[in-house]
Structure 1
């Protein structure tokens, strides 16, 4: 077994991931993953696949593939350069041919753009100086104005309704004013997330107080990172993913659990939201990059209990 293979196996076993689980994540057959751990690169389909498979293996565990390549460069087979690479002269001729084609087509394109711009400018000038029919439209609209002005009798009725409203002592502004007690009740019902120091391999224990039945985790990453969502104890995997920034947010519904375990080898790259509440790392993720968190969901206390 090579040092690289031993290192990858230790990292996989530390995260509690089997070869079968790693096969589902990387889409690489388990026998090839085992060959990488044993250092039997000749068992792979070709030397070209050695670096590609090692990269996928490392990234699935949340490791930096570039750091792994730098540390174990001598152990990883180097891909051979194919014989059928076109010569530099042939490539330069192909590039120069493409450039000459564009050079010939460029004047025609510029001429077409100028003609289109001139037509658009001419069209705008014609529209601007054509006589408008605003006068006719204003004449057509005048009878409606006169009709509105010819019906002043309806105004006293409206005033009477307003007087009746004022006589009854009704104030619309009072009805529209918000009730402070309702605002306080809404604030009291908002979910909260508190943190305390963990123990026994758990870095931080978070308690979510929320009366909602749902228990949803949302993950976003600034760099490619592994995320493992597990049942309490960390043995049963609920969901796991090596998330890339371009994939956007990843949502995991764990409503059937009251407590979950999170495995985050690259916590500094991982942003977590729990039922819409942003999780703030109690242990600085830049100081401790690899973290294990425990999140417990409880109901909020009644107003009479607080």
Structure 2
């Protein structure tokens, strides 16, 4: 920005705004990078693959433009109807964005999954292509240099940027490159907008994030959360009372239900404590009462009706 003689701050003469989608295999750091760029937690993160299940928009405001990041599920070989729908979601998202950021971690060799995703980018000729080497905090300089070279050989990129969402490395450089590739446009969202996600959607995801901690094998994929009700305190009887949140945590089998609940309910209690802390932070420190019930929805990942009920 620049100041005029009368002290009024002006935008740069060329202002750009548009959409970028980060794609890559599951667990390559897309959601961590999204949160780091937005400056706020808009997408849950986990070490478990396929944590992201929706196209989540995070909005970055810059003096020279507005970057709307569309965080998508990781592209994978689907084994369920849910997996097919998540892959379809990625494909439909890529058809609408201005820039595609292909994420490859610095600490893992490029494999068949990366090459497959790179090839699918040819189906979206309208979008500019940026290669993002993520997780540089987990690799040495030599390894990073080797990965940058390997990525550069995949195709002709509009830009290649090494970065780390965890350490905040090269975030401004990445945003600068992405902004330059956006179309000239006025801002698409208001100055205070951070995400399109509602509080209810963000709360359900925070509960699922807490439930993902420490679970193994197929259980992470079997977890889903629906908010049943959010009850405000009575302004006459209890004006300073907590926001009461009632949530259903779904699994696919009775054996999974017992794992989530844990011995004498200890594990579910721990999930509730961690989720409530995140929810209260999201709501600006507001006191929350959180009630989580674990329910079985048999094979919901393969059932069209149950997928629809759970929002997929």
TM range (shorter): under 0.3
Structure of greater relative contact order (alpha carbons < 8 Å, 6+ residues apart): 2
- Answer 1 or 2: which has greater helix percent: 1
* Structure with the larger strand share: 2
Considering only CA atoms, is the larger Rg found in Structure 1 or Structure 2? Answer: 1
With structure 1 as the length reference, what TM-score do the two structures score? 0.22
